[in-house]
Amino acid sequence: MIIYKFGGASVKDADAVRQLSNIVKSTCDKKLVVVVSAMGKITNALERFINLYYNQLPDIETVFNEIRQFHFDIIDSIFNDNKDNLFSIDDFKKSINSDFIKLHNKVNNAPTSDYDFEYDQIICFGEILSTKIVSAYLNFININNKWIDIRNCLKTDNNYREAKVDWDKSSPLVTKSFSFNDSINVYLTQGFIASSVNGYSSSLGREGSDYTASVLAFILNAESISVWKDVPGFLNADPKWFEKTEKLEEISYQEAIELAFYGAKIIHPKTIKPIQNKSIPLYVKSFLNPEDAGTVIRSIKHKLELVPVYIRKQNQVLLSISPLDFSFIIEENISKIFALFARYKVKVNLIQNSAISLSVCISNNTSKFGQLIADLKKYYKVLYNKNVELITIRHYTHKAVNKVITDKKILLEQKSRNTARFVLRASK
């Protein structure tokens, strides 16, 4: 049994859905679990929708209609591929429209005070709609498959937006749901979402579909995972940022964990550990050229000579925190600071301390940044720079460093044997 994971770019429009079906068709003689994300940029659109709802702002109907129309345009296109098929597009549209009615009814009620909870109750619609459409299309073109609502078997705690999988509860439910005992070779389900022990929708963290595939691979003892991307494999830099990139043919689990931890977008940080525990290889494959080898992540005994790998995290904030009485930054201070970060669910990407100051680089994705700063200022002097970039270079060289710091103002620099990191602000 193998697992395929398709991200949003792989279902961004009708042609992408057709290409996905071609890839699945070439493998559907094997036992296959297909994990699919929300279509295109729908997760971003739903986040805008959530913010409008939570803050009770106008234009929510406009965004709702845009999301709805996007899905129906894809339905109208792909289900016209076979005029002789007895499939009723009108009945299917009614089924999909019932999900939009549920979404609309949800926002007719005032939100609770828990933003993260409200986020997860709405964001899940992206994956549910996407997978229903893809599953129906596969059946439409005679690729027999079974749609599974992952929320019925993947259980988590109540830490909404960053929920932790409850392995003990999930394992028997997943095994039962994906049994391959009903003459079905292909199961299709959602990435990123799950349900809490209280029965509400939860999510595994942004871009968490890779992790879903990894969890399923571990529980179901998969032979391999293939993650289908709009790039030829694991590249040493984001091609949207670097003109010349190189593909890495193979990477060890350890190296992949390091790269994901530092922010490489190709793989979700939590993905590697479950498959490493069972030595399940993960292939990063080209969605457009599925015959290409791509990159394999696996257990590697021999030494790899890796080229420099560049990782760029934008929209960062550099905080400098020091005690008001000029006392030393000791364990007690650090514990108090990180307790506040945990309360506001702030992701810390870099730490550096001196005798009387602690510098941290964090992602600027909390809606409560002002409250965080206000709480920190009760005990500490706080300075911060917004809109900075965090650049990480694994296996750095002098030439590689110069390539990224030229004409930039360095706010913070950190180096170890294999890794160089810079917090940068572009010079004016």
Q: Which stretch of DSSP H or E encloses residue 374?
A: helix 369-376
Can you tell me the mean pLDDT for 270-281?
95
How far apart are alpha carbons 43 and 67 in whole angstroms?
A: 10
Average pLDDT of the chain? 93
Q: Which residue has the tokens 């506040």?
A: 340
Considering the four listed CATH numbers 3.65.10.10, 1.10.3720.10, 3.40.470.10, 3.40.1160.10, the one that applies to the domain covering 2-222 is 3.40.1160.10
Weakest-pLDDT range from 44-48, 233-237, 301-305: 301-305
82 falls in which pLDDT band (50, 70, 90)?
Answer: low
Place of tokens 């990191």: 421
Taking only the tens place, the pLDDT of each residue in 209-234 is 999 999 999 999 999 999 999 899 99
- E-state strands within 293-401: 295-298, 309-323, 348-353, 358-363, 380-394
Question: What is the pTM for the complete model shown?
Answer: 0.89
331 has pLDDT over 60: yes
* Averaged pLDDT for residues 242-258: 92
For the ranges 139-148, 208-217, 329-338, the lowest mean pLDDT is seen at: 329-338
Question: Would the CA dihedral through 68, 73, 78, 80 be positive or negative?
Answer: positive
pLDDT computed for residue 426 by the predictor? 58
Under 8 Å between Cβ of 202 and 211: no
H or E element, residue 123: helix 115-140
Residue 87 has a pLDDT of: 75
Which of 184-198, 204-218, 246-260, 366-380 is least confident? 366-380
CATH class of the domain comprising 309-426: alpha beta
How far apart are alpha carbons 109 and 36 in whole angstroms? 30
CA distances from 81 to 134, 137, 138, 141, 143 (A): 14, 10, 12, 9, 14
Sketch the domain layout of the chain as residue ranges.
Answer: 2-222, 309-426
pLDDT band, residue 49 (cuts 50/70/90): very high
Whether residue 134 contacts residue 195, with contact meaning beta carbons closer than 8 Å, is answered with: no
